[in-house]
Structure 1
Amino acid sequence: MTKLENHQLDDILNDLYEDESLLEYQYNRYKKAIETFNKLYGEGDFEIYTAAGRSEVGGNHTDHQHGRVLAASINLDAIGIVRKRDNIIKVVSDNYDIPEIDIHDLSFVEEEKGTSIALIKGVIARLKQLGYAIGGFDAYITSDVLIGAGLSSSAAFEDIIGTIIDGLYNDMKIDMVTIAKVGQYAENVYFGKPCGLMDQCACAVGGLITIDFKDKDKPDVRHIDVDFSSFDYSLCIVDAKGSHANLTDEYAAVPREMKDVAKFFNKEVLREVDDEEFLDHINEIREKLGDRAVLRAYHFFKENKRVLDEVEALENDFPAFLKLVKASGDSSYKVLQNVYASSDPEHQSVALALTLSEDLLQDNGVCRVHGGGFAGTIQAFVKNDFVKEYKKGIEKYFGEGSCHVLKIRKYGGKKIL
């Protein structure tokens, strides 16, 4: 606590959050978290852990077809103030007091599905199954990962629980891809929500990563060794204020129509279909499934290859990377068609945010739909020296605080102190 009070952690916090302007905010945030921990559990020694939020950069709606994605950890995170204890896990997450868990009883309970206790138990149970040491702890966890903005607040929570066990009982020797897979297991099996591995991986591994889901049981995860801060661009997430209500059918139609095209070729997913064979049979597919299914399949084949090009561009040619981000966004808008709901054409806040952003940015950045689409947020890569002007301009339309200026950070899950 003394180091925090005396501002002796500047180097650590700047390295972690990639933004010197956030120092005072982070110092205050950490101090408040430690004070809350002490009130809950008493003063004494403690350790501090973090797990990042994430943003999808490339591979829009490719993962469910066993395709490739490009994702990044961001400088919003969950932090945990933690102390060992025997056999019992007690977590308070912001204002939510989670019931105690006895590590001798990590069994799945149907009634706990959809709860935080299920996520914690699932993570601990899976780590135990994999042969890692487990044990009890007290923790206060607080997160500034935006809920409902496609930045994966739940994955950050799963990953910080795994990272805490890694640090307290395994000397930080568990690789972060394993931590991510454990988080996915907890969400799938204990929490009861089917999900891929992208969210957990990006939150745990850190930096920019690419994942190939061709083998869905053993996805290939690769860290892209670039310092994004050297490009002098920031990642902006703009909340276009659209509602996700009543959009379940719109979301579900995307993988369903893609799989319908795969079934035309007697395959389960589009990754198993040859793209040249797809092009040779477009007229027959149109007749059987309609034009939108063809367009969405076409998006998959192009987007899946585009991820490889984006990775290569990040390593060699950043201006080319920006052009590919724009191409990805254009494909999502025109070909995948997930910028507004066809069932609700009167509400097109994402399309409006993209149109206004392109006009504001000109040559100072690029933008695209963020995440699942249809409503919610857009993503923009903006030159650092234009961020202030872009934020002011776009918030004129969507309200103060609607533009969140982020950095891509190096670290995912990490022990800080």
Structure 2
Amino acid sequence: MKNKLSEEFKNRFDAEPLFYASAGRINLIGEHTDYNGGFVFPGAIDKVIMAAIAPNDTDKVRMYSIDIDDYAEFGLNEADAPEASWARYIFGVCREILKRGGVVKGFNAVFAGNVPLGAGLSSSAALESCFAFALNDLFNDNQIDKFELAKIGQSTEHNYCGVNCGIMDQFASVMGQKGKLMRLDCRSMEFEYFPFNPEGYELVLIDSRVKHELADSPYNKRRQSCERVAKRLGIETLRDATMEMLDSIRTDITAEDYFRAKFVIEEKSRVLAVCDALNAGDYETVGKKMYETHHGLSYDYEVSCEELDFLNDIAKECGVSGSRIMGGGFGGCTINLVKKDLRDSFIKTAKAKFNEKYGHEPSVYPVVISDGAHKEE
């Protein structure tokens, strides 16, 4: 990818660039916990957005996206926002740095990536993080700390792309380290690294290539359920709830609200159990907790779908150590912790059975936990 970027940059701008990259991400466990003040457990992966960049001594940004073969040019004032949606991500990063008192000057850039689009691996966060890291290095002597770079990416989504996202995707993309997952406390924003060196295992994403269109707003409805239960318990979020507390008010709330809250409370415990298991190198317990999360997402939180449950069942039948929905639900991927000697047969079986039932093969993405945003030497 670096050679392709270098060649394209020299052809377009007749100059030597610097190279920067940032990663997509997975979340091993901890789903629908962020807005409940709980924990998430992401890591950066070996699928990246990479950019070739150099200052151009003007007040203009000149950008070319190799993957979609499109060019954009824009100034750095609020009124200069570009039309193209992909360019707004980079414009937003520039503006958010400037709003914080940072420096951004005109630059030329060419970028490309191998983060699969639409698979829930956060290609947009990788794009934001790549440019936030690069502009911090080029124009600010790296004076903006990494956590603030993640917030710059999040603010870009909120203010320039119309997505009211949490911090997890950008956090993982910026802060990721090879061979480590991160437990992020979504209430305090404190985080801790945990070793992820699963010798004898691999992480494999199976993408159903399905996304169900929903008539209502299921995410908002679930969030409202959680907020109603927290209010009834007299606490700020379900982070502070226990199953004993929930059971004590079971007759006062709807069955739907009870099961939504049950999932969130149990998921908090699963994340902490996975932390202990990783420290002990116990990947079979990690896998068991992943299956428990899938069951909770399917039956208590009801954000799965037929295709994802089918993939989860195939994983069990094939002896896969752990499998669950990854992401908000209603389509997308399962994330699977697979023993290496089962990997090929599992993928072959999943492809064949899914194709037989649904008329298309799922996409398969092996992933390795890798470094987040960095300068390519």
TM-score (norm: length of structure 1) = 0.81
> Helix, strand or coil for the counterpart of 2:128?
helix
Any idea what the Cα deviations from partners look like across 1:356-406, whole Å, max 9, x if unmatched?
12111x1x4211111111222111011223222222221113455612111
* Contiguous gaps of at least 5 residues in structure 1: 1-28, 341-347
Q: 1:247 offset after TM fit, Å? A: 5.8
Structure 2 residue 70 is matched with structure 1 residue 97: yes
> Helix, strand or coil for the counterpart of 1:194?
coil
In the other structure, the counterpart of 2:357 is none
Which runs of structure 1 show a deviation greater than 4 angstroms over 4 or more consecutive aligned residues?
272-275
In the other structure, the counterpart of 1:263 is 231
In the other structure, the counterpart of 2:310 is 352
In the other structure, the counterpart of 1:414 is 374
Q: Is the 8 A contact 1:329 1:367 kept in 2?
A: yes
What is the aligned residue count?
366
Alignment-mate amino acid for residue 47 of structure 2? L
Q: Is the 8 A contact 2:241 2:265 kept in 1?
A: no
Q: Is the 8 A contact 2:62 2:72 kept in 1?
A: yes
In structure 1, distance between residues paired with 2:376 and 2:74? 25
Q: Percent identity?
A: 27
In structure 2, distance between residues paired with 1:46 and 1:183? 23
Q: Give the alignment of 1:6-405 within 5 angstroms.
A: 29-42=1-14, 44-86=15-57, 87-93=59-65, 94-103=67-76, 105-106=77-78, 115-207=85-177, 208-215=181-188, 219-224=189-194, 226=195, 228-246=196-214, 249-265=217-233, 269-271=237-239, 273=241, 275-285=243-253, 290-319=254-283, 320-340=285-305, 348-360=306-318, 362=319, 364-398=320-354, 399=360, 402-405=363-366
Alignment-mate amino acid for residue 303 of structure 1? E
TM-score (norm: length of structure 2) = 0.89
* Contiguous gaps of at least 5 residues in structure 2: 355-359
Any idea what the Cα deviations from partners look like across 1:81-111, whole Å, max 9, x if unmatched?
11221232222222253532323x14586x9
> Helix, strand or coil for the counterpart of 1:254?
helix
In the other structure, the counterpart of 1:21 is none
> Helix, strand or coil for the counterpart of 1:326?
helix
Q: Is the 8 A contact 1:239 1:402 kept in 2?
A: yes
Q: 1:222 to 1:47 in 2, by over 3 A?
A: same
Q: Is the 8 A contact 1:34 1:81 kept in 2?
A: yes
> Helix, strand or coil for the counterpart of 2:266?
helix
Alignment-mate amino acid for residue 212 of structure 1? D
CA RMSD of aligned residues (A): 2.3
In structure 1, distance between residues paired with 2:101 and 2:192? 24
> Helix, strand or coil for the counterpart of 1:369?
strand
